[in-house]
Amino acid sequence: MNVYEIVLKELGEACKILDIDPGVYELLREPMRVFTCSIPVRMDDGSVKVFTGYRCQHNDALGPTKGGLRFHPEVDLDETKALAAWMTFKCALVGIPYGGGKGGVKVNPKELSRREIERLSRNFIRALAPIVGPDKDIPAPDVYTNPQVMAWMMDEFSQLKGVNVPGLVTGKPIILGGSAGREEATARGCVIVIREAAKTINLKLDNATAVVQGYGNAGSAAARLLSELGVKVIAANDSGGGVYNQNGFDPVALKKHKDATGSVKGFENCSDISNEELLELECDILVPAALGNVITSKNADRIKTRIIGEAANGPTTPQADEILDKKGVLVLPDILANAGGVTVSYFEWVQNLMHYYWTVEEVNQKLEDYMVKAFKNVYKTYQETEADMRIAAYMVAIKRLDEAMRIRGWV
């Protein structure tokens, strides 16, 4: 199953349990709008290359669409549609007034210079200009895009409009209207949900063990925040390799090692470990924070953890979910566990519209409130039905979308 088929399967299961009107189901199955464009870019050698870009706006019943833009060689339309749908459910689940959007450019940014990436960024937002804006669709950073890319896009759009438009994108540098606390929001939200889940299964976090798969921004921050709660991080990896120490290690020192060398591999007092071995280590908490489809029917029966906190999008396949649920593993699904990023993006957008900015303490407290409430809503649904946590999360989201679409008169 590709990612879009997975989304449709999960949507169908949740709608069936809820006995949702077929019209609502049909509206949620397909995006309301898909935009494809050709992006010409003048390369440093004077030649022109043309890249393909996408933007999918899935559903705006609750508000303007919201979601990241990624630069990646494997960007395609099905993936973009799936990620946009996930954003719709994620925003509805945590109770923020957004629909779901997603986009990207099919490109390997590692093959481009900084100036070429800037031209690509500016030309892409020019192509998207008719369909994006603070009241229409608000992009954000994603895979291989960052605050600098958002700054270029915001600047280009502002020049087109003849007025400063900081609310066009989120994930900007703070000097241009970014929000305090945004950089680690995804990880912080994930750790808040893990903490709440641990309470429900009587897992004491003090000296519990954790494994982090993927040591980028979300993974490294999650490891640090877990360690601050007393959790012992025993393994982590990235695309260059993995490290393991059963006695635990300092996640901050590991991040410094990765920044200095380009990989976690070779970190002091740790042994090497493969990705497959890492996922199957015995631990209390497993945090998949890399790409999707890493926990499948092939390895799910060998997963030895009590809680899985999905910091990444789609790391667990539907077949694996069934196996894990039977084993009693509490899976905190992506649309819940990694919703901290879009929640603080919402805070950034609100601050841009108000021209009034909050401290990091205020941002973190507001994030705490949203994530705790979202977890409680999902866990209550999980306890009251025979659904697993993922389908329970979809049910919470779909009930809100159903209500909004009915009141609007769409069904």
CATH value at residue 90:
3.40.50.10860
Q: How far apart are CA 144 and CA 12, in angstroms?
A: 32
Task: State the average pLDDT for the chain.
Answer: 96
250 and 274 belong to one structural domain: yes
Active site residue 399: no
Q: How many domains does the chain have?
A: 2
43 and 123 belong to one structural domain: yes
Helix, strand, coil percentages for the chain (3-state, nearest 5): 50, 20, 30
Whether 89 shows a pLDDT value over 90: the answer reads: yes
Q: How far apart are CA 164 and CA 158, in angstroms?
A: 5
69 and 147 belong to one structural domain: yes
Active-site pick, 66, 102, 255, 265:
102
Whether 15 shows a pLDDT value over 80: the answer reads: yes
237 and 164 belong to one structural domain: no
Domain boundary among 283, 309, 337: 337
**Structural contact between residues 101 and 66, judged by C-beta atoms closer than 8 angstroms:** yes
Residue 324 lies in a domain: yes
Please state the separation of Cα 158 from the chain's center in Å.
27
Residue 130 lies in a domain: yes
232 and 148 belong to one structural domain: no
162 and 206 belong to one structural domain: no
Whether 102 shows a pLDDT value over 90: the answer reads: yes
Residue 378 lies in a domain: no
232 and 142 belong to one structural domain: no
pLDDT digits (tens, 9 = 90+) for 373-393: 999 999 999 999 989 999 999
Domain boundary among 337, 370, 388: 337
- Residue 207: which pLDDT band, with cuts at 50, 70 and 90? confident
Residue 391 lies in a domain: no
- Residue 163: which pLDDT band, with cuts at 50, 70 and 90? very high
Whether 332 shows a pLDDT value over 90: the answer reads: yes
Q: What is the mean pLDDT of residues 191-196?
A: 98
Domain boundary among 289, 310, 337: 337
Angle, helices 147-161 vs 114-128, to 10°: value is: 50
DSSP state of 292: S
Domain with 195 in it: what CATH number? 3.40.50.720
Q: How far apart are CA 22 and CA 28, in angstroms?
A: 10
Share of the chain above pLDDT 70, in %: 100
227 and 286 belong to one structural domain: yes
pTM of the model: 0.94
129 and 162 belong to one structural domain: yes
Please state the separation of Cα 257 from the chain's center in Å.
25
Residue 249 lies in a domain: yes
145 and 228 belong to one structural domain: no
Could you list the residue range(s) of the whole structural domain that residue 329 is in? 185-337
273 and 313 belong to one structural domain: yes
Residue 171 lies in a domain: yes
Residue 359 lies in a domain: no
**Structural contact between residues 93 and 397, judged by C-beta atoms closer than 8 angstroms:** yes
Residue 223 lies in a domain: yes
- SS3 of 118-151: HHHHHHHHHHHHHHCECCCEEEEECCCCCHHHHH
248 and 161 belong to one structural domain: no
